[in-house]
Each structure stands twice: as C-alpha cells, then as structure tokens.
Structure 1
Amino acid sequence: MRQLGLIVGAAATALVAAGAITYAVAGDEGSDGTPSAGSADAGFARDMAVHHQQAVEMSYIVRDRTDDEEVRRLAYDIAQTQANQRGMLLGWLDLWELPKVSAEPPMTWMGMGDMASGKDGALMPGMATNAEMKRLGSLGGERAEVFYLQLMTDHHKGGVHMAQGCVRACEVGVEKRLARGMVEAQESEIELMAGMLRERGAAPRE
C-alpha cells in the first residue's frame, strides 16, 4: 500500500507541475510557435487523449465489479490522473486551434501509421478490444481484478511507448515534460500491478 501511495503522489506531482502552465505553451521553451496539425505535438495530444479515455472507462468498470479496496483505489487514481491529463491534451489542441480528430491513422506522427493497430483490431497498441471491454464488464470479484490488471498493464505499456515517442519528437516543452512524467508514473504502476497479479496467482499477459 505504501508503494501505491508513492506512485499516486508522483502522478499528482506531475499533474500539478503540468497544470500550472497548461495554458502557457505557445511561448514555452523548445517551441517556436503553435504546432502544426501534422506535428508530433498535435499527434501525441490527439492519440493519447483517446488512449487515456479507454483507461478511464476500464477503471470505472472494475470499480463496480470488485470490493477489493486496493484495486478500487488504484483504478480510481488511474481514472482521475488520466482524465486530468486528457483534459490538458485536449486543452492544448483548443489553444492551438487544431482539430481533435485526424484523417491520418493513429500514431502516424511516430512513423507507424497503418502499423499502429494493436492486436485483434485494437485502435492502438496496448488498447483493449471491444470484446475485452465487454468481458471486463461481465466479470466480478477476483476474476475482474485479474483481467483489469492484465488489461491495464498492456494499456500502460502502449502508453509508455507513445509517451516516449513524444519525449523524443515533441517540441513544446510542457508537453514533453508531461510525457516524461507519464513514462515514469506508468512504468511504476506496471511494476505495482505485476505484484498485485502475483498476489492473485496470476501474471501479465504475454
């Protein structure tokens, strides 16, 4: 439980640091002006907002499917953190007067394009399929906990990969810092969830 508190604290710190300058990005260090619609900055904001939305949905589903306080607390923290970050990402797109939807395939800004689709038709790597989301909503108790932890581990791995892409390619300083914070927080949560799965006699999916 102490480890969970440390992770949540780190995520909250990243949110505060980013939120304090959410609307001061146009002249932020590392940026020469408003990003273009095809830039890594805009692509990351659009794609990660979609990625985060599913994590929020999964987390609220499992909170209604289990009474385990540790899982419910983790799910709530993930939902709150990613909902707040999603708001920042969409807010930047508004500030830059850029569309929130692109005709380009997800992760084109990372040079992946049509290769971005995850397994079994998932929109992006790490994202759950519609069938997996439906299954999560049908389970209860420990079975729901295990499946959620497995899905969220995959989800975080995909999110870390995308955030690392922004750290490398984004030019807006505050967005790069948010992406770096995502990498650190989600890697810590991946370790935490591995331990929670072991406690339940399970493991992350291959």
Structure 2
Amino acid sequence: MTRRQAITATATLGLALLLLAMGAAARPLLVDEHPLSRPVLNPTEIGFAQDMLAHHSQALIMTARLDQTADPTVVALADRIEATQREEIGELKGWLRMAGASTVNNAPMQWMHPNNSVTDHHHHAATPSETADGGPAMPGMATQTELDALSAARGTDAARSFLHMMTRHHYGGIQMAQAANNLLTDGIVKQTARDMMTNQTQEAALMEIMLNSLTTAR
C-alpha cells in the first residue's frame, strides 16, 4: 500500500467513525428508546374500580344507618364490614388516582358488558336500581326508600332489614367481582376482585344464617 493509499484509508476510517459517533448521538432524538409503558389501569380495571367504589360507599351508608341497639352480633358484623370496605375504598381510590381517572363512572356497568350500548340496561332489570327510586344501575344496590326504612327501623326489625339488604348487596358485589375476574387476565385488580369474591361470599353466607336465626326466633 502506498503512502497516499494509507492516508486515504485512514481518512476514510476516521470519517466512518465520526459518522457512527454522530449517529449514536443523534439516535435519542430520532428513536424513542423508552416506549410508552403499559397504562396503570386498562378500561375494564378503571370501570370496575369506579363502580365498586360506588357500591362500597353505599355499604358504608347501610352500616351507618343500622340501629346500634340492634342484635349485638349483627352490629359487630356491620362494624367488620365497614372496616373492610373502608380499607378497600382507599385501595380503589388509590388505583384511580394513579391512573389519573375520575372516581365516578359516567357509564356505570358498561365495562361489565362492553358489547352493549350504555343505554342497554336489560341485564340488571331485576335489581332495585331499576325502581322508581332511580338508584345507580348496579346489582344489589338498595333504593333510597329502603335506606330510609333502615334508618327508621329499631331492634330486631333493624337487624333483619340490615341483614336482608346487605346480603343482597354482597351478592351484587360478588357478581361484579366475578365479571372482573373473568374479563381480566392478570394484575392486582384481578387478584383483589378474587379476594372480594371470597370475603363477601363468606359474609353473605354468615348473614343468611343470622337472618334465618332471627326469623325463626320471631
């Protein structure tokens, strides 16, 4: 190789290295090296969290309206339900806050029936929410009339009313949690839905036993 050829080769190599360096430096400007990560919550998870938040909030209203002089066992159970659902409400709100989502669902239960229009409510026509009281379109929800009756009830009547309403409320929550479990493939929301199914099924069974005992003793 002549001296001139050596100089040319060296210059070419130097230019190539310079272009490579410039390309590496420019890459962050041209290529997104950090693609968008998975959203904190998907639409199904957001809808479930919003609707379960509303569902749990009514449960707290029911526990607050129970006559504290009613059967001590029923009052103790109501206190347990209140504590559990307050904790879960905090968790639900935390998820929605992280996702930047509202705590209120403008299309209740649409996540549960994604192929139906927002105005298609036939799937929960048997729930109290479809009565003249105009409650939310969610399974197991009590009407305002029922809540007012619970506030007015005393003693054994209050205990029976509470157990009847909360049992139905729990089964509505179980229905929502089952739907979330079926729709979601993995994640903390799916696991929490499964936990809710287990806990509320156990409590609903206990309330049915308690209600039967109070009815028998009448």
The two structures have a TM-score, normalised by structure 2, of 0.72
* Distance in structure 2 (CA, Å) of the matches to 1:50 and 1:172: 23
Q: Which residue of 2 aligns with 1:99?
A: 102
1:169-188 map, 5 Å: 169-170=183-184, 173-188=187-202
Match among 34, 38, 41 for residue 40 of structure 2 = 34
Q: Which has the larger radius of gyration?
A: 2
Deviates more, 1:110-119 or 1:137-146: 110-119
**Which structure 1 residue ranges, 4+ long, deviate > 6 Å from structure 2?**
none
Q: Which residue of 1 aligns with 2:19?
A: none
Give the drift of 1:148.
0.4
1:105-124 map, 5 Å: 106-111=108-113, 113=118, 114-115=120-121, 116=124, 118-119=127-128, 120=131, 121-123=134-136, 124=138
* Distance in structure 1 (CA, Å) of the matches to 2:60 and 2:163: 13
Give the drift of 1:171.
5.1
Identity of aligned pairs, percent? 38
Q: Which residue of 2 aligns with 1:86?
A: 89
The two structures have a TM-score, normalised by structure 1, of 0.76
Larger relative contact order, structure 1 or 2 (CA cutoff 8 Å, min sep 6): 1
For the 8 Å contact 1:65–1:144, the answer to whether it is kept is no
**RMSD of the TM alignment (CA)?**
1.8
Extract unaligned runs of 5+ from structure 1. Answer: 1-30
* Distance in structure 1 (CA, Å) of the matches to 2:90 and 2:78: 18
Give the drift of 1:65.
4.1
Give the drift of 1:169.
1.6
Q: Deviations over 1:131-155 (max 9, x none)?
A: 0000000000000000100000110
Aligned length: 168
Distance 1:144 1:57, change over 3 A: same
Give the drift of 1:88.
0.5
* Distance in structure 2 (CA, Å) of the matches to 1:161 and 1:172: 18
Q: Which residue of 2 aligns with 1:200?
A: 214
